[in-house]
Structures are given as C-alpha cells and as structure tokens.
Amino acid sequence: MSPFVYLDYAGVALFAATGALAASRKQLDLIGFLFFAVITGTGGGTVRDIVLGRVPVFWVLNPTYILICCAAGVIVFFTAHLVESRYRLLIWLDAVGLSAYCAMGAAKGLAATGSPTIAIVTGTLTATFGGVLRDLLANEPSVLLRPEIYITAALVGAAIFTGATEFGLPLYAASAAGVLAAFAVRGGALYYGWTFPTYKAKPGRHPDDVM
Amino acid sequence: MSPFVYLDYAGVALFAATGALAASRKQLDLIGFLFFAVITGTGGGTVRDIVLGRVPVFWVLNPTYILICCAAGVIVFFTAHLVESRYRLLIWLDAVGLSAYCAMGAAKGLAATGSPTIAIVTGTLTATFGGVLRDLLANEPSVLLRPEIYITAALVGAAIFTGATEFGLPLYAASAAGVLAAFAVRGGALYYGWTFPTYKAKPGRHPDDVM
Amino acid sequence: MSPFVYLDYAGVALFAATGALAASRKQLDLIGFLFFAVITGTGGGTVRDIVLGRVPVFWVLNPTYILICCAAGVIVFFTAHLVESRYRLLIWLDAVGLSAYCAMGAAKGLAATGSPTIAIVTGTLTATFGGVLRDLLANEPSVLLRPEIYITAALVGAAIFTGATEFGLPLYAASAAGVLAAFAVRGGALYYGWTFPTYKAKPGRHPDDVM
C-alpha cells in the first residue's frame, strides 16, 4: 500500500474524532457521535472527489474509511468526558487532520488534472471542508471565522506539496514537507495566536451594514 | 413500475412538504415555498446519487420529482395557515419521509455497490440530509441536535432493510420491514420522548469549551 | 469564444466579489477573502455541474475561473474599506451576478437534458446557491429569508431564457432577455422593496411552533 493511504486514513480518523467531539459538546447519543464522525471525517474528501469527477467517492469504493470513522466516534464517545477541554482537543486534532489532508487533497488534484492551481484549490478545500461541515451541522461558530490563521495553513501546505512535486521531489518528501509546513503554520497560529493584518473597518460601521 | 418508485415519490413528497412548512414558518412567498420544497424533497436523494456516482441525479433524469415537490409546495402554501402547529406537522411528516427514504437509500446503495456497510450509510444519509439542508437554509435549530432519537431511526431502518435483503427476503418485504422499523423508532421517540443515555458532561464546563 | 463564456466569467466574478465583501464584513485576512471569493463565485455552478453529471466541474477543467475569483478577492481586499456600505454593494453585485447566472445555468441545463423543467431548476439553483453558501459560511442572515423578492427573480430569468430558446430565439437574444428580466425583478425588489403577498400567520402562533 502506498504511504498516501495511511496519510488518508490518518486525516479521516483525526477529522472524525473532531466531529465526535462536536457531538460530545452537543450531548448527542452514540449514533450522533458516529454520524458526526462519518460526516466530518469523510466530508472534505467527498467534496474533493466529486468536483474532480472521481465518483463513486473514495469511501463508497473502500468502506474501510467508514469503519475508521466509526471507531474514532466510539473511542471519543467513551473518553470525551475525561478530557479537560473538548474544544481545545478538537481544535488541535483539527490542526493535525488539516495538515494531513491538505497534502493528500493536493496530491489527488494534481494526479487527476496535472494543474498546480487545481491541486492547491483541492488541497485547501479538502483540508477545510470537513471542519466547515462539522461546524455548520453542529451549529458551532465556524472555525473559518476565528481570528487565528486557518485557511492559510491549508493553502501553504497544499502549495508547498505542489511546488515540491513540480520541482521533482519524490512523493514521500513532498508530502512530508507539505504536512509539516501546514502544521507549523496552524500550530503556531493556535499556540501564539498568530493573525494576519486586516483592515479593521468595524462591521456595521454604516447603518446599511447591519440592515 | 417498481414499488420503489412509489416509495421514492412518497419520500420526496413528504420531505418537500416539510420544506414548505419551514418556508411557511419563515413567512416566505409562494416561490420560496417551492424552492424549499424542491431542495428538501430532493436533497437527500441528490447527495446519495452523487456519492454513488449515479449522475445525472434522479430528478434530472426524471423531472416528475420536481413537479411532485412543487405540488407539495403549492398545497402547503394554501393550507399551512389552517394547521394548528406547523412545527408538529413538519416533524411528523419528516418522520414518515425519513422512514420511506432510509429503505430507499439503502436499496440504491446496495444495488450500486453490493456493500452492506455502504447501503446502511447511504440509507442513513439519504433519510437525514434533506432535513439537514432544510434546517440549515431556513436557519432553524437542526433536527439532528434535538434530544429525541432521530439519526438512529434512519440507521435502524436502513440496517433492517439491508439485513433482510441479505437474508434473502424479497424487496417488498425487506422494504416494509425497514420502513416500519424506522417509523416505530422515530414515532416512538417523538410520542414518548425517547432518548438514549448520554454522558451528561455540561457543555462549557471547561472555560475553553466556550472559547 | 462563445458569448456564454463572458456571461459565465461575469457571473463568477460578481459572486466572487460578494463573497469577498462578506469576508470583509467578518474582518478576515487576505486568504479568507480569496476562500470566500472562490466558494461564492464557483459554488452555484459547481452544484449545477454535479447534478447534471458534468464532472470534473467547470473550474477543474478551466482554472481561469479560480484566477478570476482570486482577482476579485484581491480587488475587494484593497478597496472594501473605502465603500460606504459593504452590505448594500454586496446585495447589488449579488443581483447582477444572479441575473447573469440564471440564464447561464438554464442554458447548461437545457443543453445537457433538453428538458425545460430541468433548465428552469438548474438556472434558479445556479443563481441562488453561491449566495446561499456565502451566507451559510459567513454566518450571515440568509438572503433567501429576506422579505424582498429574490428566488423569484432567478426563476423568472431562467424561465424567460428557456421559453425564448424554445420559441426559437437565438442564444444571444434569449440570454439578454433572461438576464434583463431577472435584473428588472431583483433590482426593482431591492429599490422599491417589492414583496409578494404571504399568509401572515405569525411564526410561533402555536406554542409548538417555537418548541
């Protein structure tokens, strides 16, 4: 088996665990944990496969992914109440999953189209969409809208993977570079509170902006 | 025509009616009723078809489904204000639609892949996704996050349909078993307030959990 | 190149700009602007292509669309703080984008299926879904739920394009008629506050309606 399969399994399992942690915060039952684990674990890759025209999607072709999500959901169900802060754990697991998935998504986009632009887009999309779905379905504030750097980490990882591959690095090395770069950016953003400068126009400054 | 077509029409019409009831609660105009009826009625089946690689999706191949949704939307538009509680009606129609759709979705997943795991996943997904889309678009509290058993009902119906089919029951019998089982679980949950035990760790127990 | 390509580029660029304006209202960083620009600009067309079975979707086949979205995102990033009301600009750009996209979406639906019903549905879906995604991801009140006529404008434009094409008008003329009709309806609704009559049953009239 290719090392990509393990990277994929790891990304799926980590995102599945964040989905189950969201279910825990919402006090859902075991089946709710499994549902959120499956949706969050497979969501990003499902969107990636669909836009690339790779259907049936990966988990339909290989149901092992569903079982991995369910296993992650069961583990979180029996342990989440022991964790001091479920949200902090969720956000860090999400960071690792995002790092694995941005390289994975870029690799599949590059393999399917040969276009670096598309590889970067599918890498970023794959890495962020599971979390977006999780937050939407759980009615949690979206991780996209938090101030610390998030989407940028996925973009950096996808771009570094793509660039390294285009420069002829072997897949192992390009993947490692992409995953580590994404985690360095997202982990640093979480740990040090890194943000980018923005134009601090106040929302609602003009009355129509709150209409 | 196969009995499945009627089961499908029934599931679509019932979910369409719940979408129109959501439009009624939001005081939308007739076109808003039709839009919510179409999205809710076809949403679950659309996601099912896409992940299975069955594209163009069912309502593109057979526009009758769109007309059924529009008919349901028009009927609800002219009658919803007569109903004592639109939300109670919505939630019960949703229960019947969910029961029809979990067997239907499992049947299509099984036919497309032969995998019982995938059949159960597509059955559960098909039965729940229309309601998820409806609640997201209407900005209503998600039916997923309510305490009474919901996803479990779809899972039970899909699993019983799949198991019965694997054990050699004819499609009629397996469908009837799946639909009735799902409705027994969801109807009981609604009527008696059935819930599953959960770990009642309070959300926000740790300060980071509300960060 | 066909005139449709320019109509498509225009619709994508305008919706991308509304996504970037939503990012501005949320005070996101540059990458956040690009993400919202890409998702909003391509969202409606992506859903259209997927349900029609046209995968890989349009922007995977032609990455120019991604670059157009990014350009719109960059322009908005450096100018949004100069605009008096970002929400008013967003809502008017959305109106123009909706007008371009309803004709475009109907044209692709008609070309793919030959069914006028499907053409009207894909036209309406394409024109509204980018805005729906933008509002969901940005946690803004959905443009669907605002009182002024919105979905109807997309439906009218898609129906007039489809009808004109069925009556044998050339594509140029049918497109112009659809775009102008949609903009007349939506622009009028915004400018004059047009609404349709609705049954004004109060939401929450029955206690269960707020349960």
What's the gap between Cα C119 and its chain centre?
15
Instruction: Give the pLDDT confidence score for residue C208 in this predicted structure.
Output: 52
Q: Mean pLDDT check: name the lowest of C5-9, C61-65, C199-203.
A: C199-203
Would you mind telling me the total number of residues written for chain C in this entry?
211
Quote the CA–CA distance of C135 and A41 in Å, as a whole number. Answer: 24
With respect to residue A120, please indicate whether it lies within any of the assigned structural domains.
yes
Q: B84: nearest CA in chain C?
A: C206
DSSP symbol at A169: -
With respect to residue C208, please indicate whether it lies within any of the assigned structural domains.
no
With respect to residue A211, please indicate whether it lies within any of the assigned structural domains.
no
Instruction: Give the pLDDT confidence score for residue C148 in this predicted structure.
Output: 83
Quote the CA–CA distance of C8 and C6 in Å, as a whole number. Answer: 5
CB atoms within 10 A of CB C168: 8
Quote the CA–CA distance of A127 and A104 in Å, as a whole number. Answer: 9
With respect to residue A52, please indicate whether it lies within any of the assigned structural domains.
yes
**Tokens standing for A15?**
């995102």
Percent of chain A residues past pLDDT 90, beyond the cut: 70
> Cβ separation of C121 and B38 shorter than 8 Å?
yes
Instruction: Give the pLDDT confidence score for residue C30 in this predicted structure.
Output: 93
Quote the CA–CA distance of C43 and C127 in Å, as a whole number. Answer: 10
Instruction: Give the pLDDT confidence score for residue B33 in this predicted structure.
Output: 94
Structurally, chain C folds into a number of domains equal to 1
Q: Which residue has the tokens 């660029």?
A: C13
> Cβ separation of B32 and C151 shorter than 8 Å?
yes
Helices within chain C (DSSP H only):
3-25, 30-51, 58-61, 64-79, 86-113, 116-137, 151-166, 171-192
Quote the CA–CA distance of B141 and B135 in Å, as a whole number. Answer: 6
Query: Rounded to a whole number, what is the distance in Å from the CA of B77 to chain A's nearest CA?
Result: 28
DSSP symbol at A63: T
Instruction: Decide: A104 and A58 in contact? Cβ < 8 Å.
Output: no
With respect to residue B78, please indicate whether it lies within any of the assigned structural domains.
yes
With respect to residue C83, please indicate whether it lies within any of the assigned structural domains.
yes
For residue A56, give the nearest of B51, B128, B199 by CB distance. Answer: B51
State residue A82 phi and psi, 5-degree precision: -85, -20
Q: In whole numbers, what is the pLDDT of chain A averaged over residues?
A: 89
Going residue by residue through chain B, which has 211 residues, state the pLDDT in tens, using 9 for 90 and above.
Answer: 466 778 788 889 999 999 999 999 898 999 999 999 999 999 999 999 999 999 999 999 999 999 999 999 999 999 988 887 778 888 899 999 999 999 999 999 999 999 999 999 999 999 999 999 999 999 988 888 888 889 999 999 999 999 999 999 999 899 999 999 999 999 999 998 888 766 555 554 555 554 4
With respect to residue B179, please indicate whether it lies within any of the assigned structural domains.
yes
Mutate to test the interface with B, among C113, C145, C195, C205 (most CBs of B within 10 A): C145
Query: Rounded to a whole number, what is the distance in Å from the CA of A143 to chain C's nearest CA?
Result: 10
Chain B residues with CB under 8 Å of A35 CB are 124, 128, 144, 151
With respect to residue C19, please indicate whether it lies within any of the assigned structural domains.
yes
Quote the CA–CA distance of A158 and B208 in Å, as a whole number. Answer: 30
pLDDT tens column, C8-54: 898 899 999 999 999 998 989 999 999 999 999 999 999 999 999 99
Instruction: Give the pLDDT confidence score for residue B56 in this predicted structure.
Output: 95
B107: nearest Cα among B60, B52, B186: B52
| SS3 call for A83 | coil
Domain that holds residue A155: 3-195
